[in-house]
Amino acid sequence: MGSSYMAMRRSKKLASKQMKKVLITGGAGFVGSNLTASLLAEGVAVTVYDNLSRVGAERNLAWLQEQGRGLRYIAGDVRDSSLLNHTLRQGQFDTVFHLAAQVAVTTSVADPRSDFEVNALGTFNLLEAVRNSGYNGHGAPALFLTSTNKVYGGLEHLGVQLQGDRYAYADREGVDEGCPLDFHSPYGCSKGAADQYVRDYARIYGIPSVVFRMSCIYGPHQFGNEDQGWVAHFLIAAVKDQPLTIYGDGKQVRDILFVEDLLRAFKLARRQIATTRGQVYNIGGGPQNTLAIWQEFSGLIKLLHGKIPPVSFRAWRPGDQPIYVSDTRKAHADFGWQPAVGVQEGIRRLYEWIRANPALFERSPQLSGFSPATPADFTGGVQ
């Protein structure tokens, strides 16, 4: 039988499956822990592969271990190709969510080698482990990568105008998947390389993989700081009455997506893997869920908390985008997804979680600012 025929049979077999055994790299991070808990509640057996190097990961893992049966934890690093190969060979997973990453632009500039090894080489290691596990009679597991909108670079070619207290595109509502790639910063290069490797392994080796290019994801179990996770960072600073530094004029606009909506996107895309395999999707709050990072967010903080934290302003940082908004129409067309949780509801829910769990933030690092040039936390734990 020809290779194309066997690939078609594997595709049909995979499409008929529901998730039963799942591997999540970075499963103790922000998105990873939320995804793990959601799948465990549905009766899915989940293996979390995480080295717990990210702030808050140990606390998230402890929370997950209280959720009930079905959880397995492997203290693993994605730079360890031998352990990844062993894990994939033994696990018989039907789905892999690759959330482990180095997520801060600032860290990538300070240590580009480590950034490359985690994001680019780590993803390559996982792809090889998935490929090698997929020819044991069970078919390759579906693989989901959380990429980033930073693969599009600074988007200087897009027309931007200031409308009152927020920036807006002059001729569009959002950025679609046809936007030219322009990797910017070591972080953009390492995640961009991972993004393209995952896409090409779908073409060359038939691995049923999907790439989500993420905008700003926020929600419970996010330990935001100056380098990433800015929505949570601002709210934590407000609750702890700690100062913030805004780089730029605070009118920069981002689309933000509550984590539960992201989990639903994962599940819908997995169910439609025959359609979504090999595809790239921009995933974010879209034009209906945008926020000017300070000019508008400060009003929501005051409404919830009664006051805003002390704020100072500094010059724009190089490479910052005045606006980034995801065009999510392709995701809606291919697997019927669109955001359901609005900005005010999502921020309220995150604020209430922070207020209800003060002990989780007792050892958090000093919260001293925000750089819109760095991405929101869209991954799991850093590996």
CATH number (domain holding residue 354): 3.40.50.720
- Alpha-carbon distance 63 to 67, whole Å? 7
3-state SS, one letter per residue, for 216-285: EEECCCCCCECCECHHHHHHHHHHHCCCEEEECCCCCEEEEEEHHHHHHHHHHHHHCHHHHCCCEEEECC
Residue 372, pLDDT > 60, answer no
Share of the chain above pLDDT 90, in %: 78
201 part of the active site: no
CB atoms within 10 A of CB 324: 26
105 pLDDT band, cuts 50/70/90, is confident
Instruction: Look at residue 228 in the predicted model and tell me its pLDDT.
Output: 82
Q: Does 184 fall in a domain?
A: yes
How far apart, in Å, are the Cα atoms of 305 and each of 83, 209, 227, 239? Answer: 46, 42, 23, 8
Residue 319, pLDDT > 90, answer no
Q: Does 381 fall in a domain?
A: no
- Alpha-carbon distance 47 to 82, whole Å? 17
Q: Does 377 fall in a domain?
A: no
Domain that holds residue 175: 3-361
370 pLDDT band, cuts 50/70/90, is very low
| pLDDT tens string 159-217 | 999 999 999 999 999 999 999 999 988 999 999 999 999 999 999 999 999 999 999 99
Domain count, the chain: 1
- Residue 224, CB-side half-sphere exposure with 13 Å CA sphere: 31
- Alpha-carbon distance 120 to 263, whole Å? 24
Residue 332, pLDDT > 80, answer yes
More confident site: 305 or 15: 305
- Alpha helix (H) residue ranges in the chain: 3-15, 30-41, 57-64, 81-91, 105-110, 112-116, 122-133, 185-205, 230-240, 259-271, 273-276, 297-305, 329-335, 343-356
Q: Does 42 fall in a domain?
A: yes
Rounded average pLDDT over 301-330: 92
- Alpha-carbon distance 266 to 330, whole Å? 14
Residue 248, pLDDT > 50, answer yes
| pLDDT tens string 260-276 | 999 999 999 999 999 99
Q: Does 372 fall in a domain?
A: no
- Alpha helix (H) residue ranges in 66-184: 81-91, 105-110, 112-116, 122-133
Lowest mean pLDDT, pick from 110-124, 130-144, 208-222, 301-315: 130-144
136 pLDDT band, cuts 50/70/90, is very low
Residue 383, pLDDT > 80, answer no
Q: Does 375 fall in a domain?
A: no
- Alpha-carbon distance 155 to 272, whole Å? 31
| pLDDT tens string 72-100 | 999 999 999 999 999 999 999 999 999 99
Write down how long the chain is: 383
More confident site: 367 or 201: 201
Instruction: Look at residue 16 in the predicted model and tell me its pLDDT.
Output: 39
Among the listed residues 190, 217, 208, the one whose alpha carbon sits nearest the alpha carbon of residue 130: 208
Which of the following is catalytic: 49, 187, 201, 247?
187
Mean pLDDT of the residues in the chain: 89
Instruction: Look at residue 18 in the predicted model and tell me its pLDDT.
Output: 75
Instruction: Look at residue 104 in the predicted model and tell me its pLDDT.
Output: 86
More confident site: 5 or 250: 250
Task: Output the six-digit token pair for 254.
Answer: 């981002």
Rounded average pLDDT over 112-127: 98
Q: Which residues, in sequence order, are CB contacts of 306 under 8 Å at separation 6+?
A: none
369 pLDDT band, cuts 50/70/90, is very low
Instruction: Look at residue 134 in the predicted model and tell me its pLDDT.
Output: 67
Q: Does 239 fall in a domain?
A: yes
| pLDDT tens string 20-76 | 999 999 999 999 999 999 999 999 999 999 999 988 999 999 999 998 789 999 999
User: pTM to 2 decimals?
Assistant: 0.89
Q: Does 18 fall in a domain?
A: yes
